[in-house]
Amino acid sequence: RIKMKGKLVIFSAPSGAGKTTIVQYLLKKIPTLEFSVSACSRAMRKGETHGVDYYFISVEEFKQKIKNEEFAEWEEVYKDNFYGTLKAEIERIRKKGHHIIFDMDVVGGINLKKQFGDQALAVFVMPPSIAHLEERLRSRETETPESIARRIGKAEVELLTANQFDKVVLNDSLEHAFAEAEKAVKAFLAKE
Ligand code: 5GP
């Protein structure tokens, strides 16, 4: 088990459940939290910035970093779309004395929680329904029909993992989800 100064706050959910919005809200509300920027090999979306949303790298570069054991966790979330948390990113934030907040899929979330135990709070964001998810992915306008179908298929499996998390936040309304998430994170960070 790795010894940590900064605690880990992990937000996981199926794609489109609203976890990114919740994470952004918490970053504004809790100044001791810093966002862990993941590395990924997918194409940059409109409005995204390298080094802010992700470190955008090629599949080749990603595979090299896997070989070099530079990742705390990584995953091929979709075919040729690799995502991972660099050990150096955790170290960078820890050195500043900040707590770390992660936005990742459920497999990555469960993996990190196993590694960090009591130093980590793993939160699952539950969408009100699969139909809601599909609607949200459609309204994003960055997804193709194929990528929507792929993400929905994955979501159905992901919903079954909710019981492996420390806390489940139902995102039936953002206001409700914001309040519940903020309460859980603040309580966790206040603990010795
Ligand atoms: P998107 O392409 O929508 O940005 O992300 C796709 C999925 O990959 C999301 O569920 C996102 O949270 C997840 N993801 C982002 N970064 C990481 C990471 O570092 N590790 C893992 N395992 N998943 C990640």
Contact residues for 150 (Cβ-Cβ < 8 A; gap 6+): 78
Q: What are phi and psi of 144, to 5 degrees?
A: -90, 165
Instruction: Tell me which residue has its CA closest to atom 20 in ligand 1.
Output: 84
Instruction: Tell me which residue has its CA closest to atom 10 in ligand 1.
Output: 105
Kindly give the number of the ligand 1 atom that is closest to the alpha carbon of 40: 16
Question: How many Cβ atoms from other residues are within 10 Å of residue 167's Cβ?
Answer: 18
Task: State the burial class of residue 146 (Cβ atoms within 10 Å of its Cβ: 0-12, 13-18, 19+).
Answer: exposed
Is ligand 1 within 6 A of the CB of residue 41?
no
Q: 105 CA to middle of ligand 1, Å? A: 5
Indicate yes or no: pTM above 0.85: yes
Is ligand 1 within 6 A of the CB of residue 104?
yes
Reported as a pLDDT band with limits 50, 70 and 90, residue 143 is confident
Is ligand 1 within 6 A of the CB of residue 38?
yes
Query: Please, which residues bridge with residue 34 across strands?
Result: 100
- For residue 5, what pLDDT is reported? 67
Q: Up-side HSE of residue 108: CA atoms within 13 Å toward CB? A: 25
Q: Of the candidates 126, 93, 86, which has an alpha carbon nearest to the alpha carbon of residue 108?
A: 86
Higher pLDDT, 140 or 179: 179
User: Mean per-residue pLDDT for 171-177?
Assistant: 94
**179 has pLDDT over 80:** yes
Is ligand 1 within 6 A of the CB of residue 84?
yes
Q: In degrees, to the nearest 5, what angle opens at C-alpha 60 toward C-alphas 59 and 62?
A: 65
Ligand 1 pocket test target in 77, 85, 101, 157 with most atoms within 8 Å of CB: 77
User: Mean per-residue pLDDT for 56-85?
Assistant: 96
- For residue 88, what pLDDT is reported? 97
**64 has pLDDT over 50:** yes
Reported as a pLDDT band with limits 50, 70 and 90, residue 149 is very high
Kindly give the number of the ligand 1 atom that is closest to the alpha carbon of 107: 22
Is ligand 1 within 6 A of the CB of residue 12?
no
**41 has pLDDT over 70:** yes
- For residue 192, what pLDDT is reported? 78
Q: In degrees, to the nearest 5, what angle opens at C-alpha 78 toward C-alphas 76 and 80?
A: 70
| Total residue count of the chain as it appears in this document | 192
Tokens standing for residue 85: 């948390």
Q: What are phi and psi of 117, to 5 degrees?
A: 50, -125
- For residue 78, what pLDDT is reported? 81
* Segments of 47-189 assigned E as strands: 54-56, 71-78, 81-86, 99-104, 120-126, 167-170
Q: How far apart are CA 37 and CA 41, in angstroms?
A: 13
Identify the helix (H) or strand (E) that includes residue 129: none
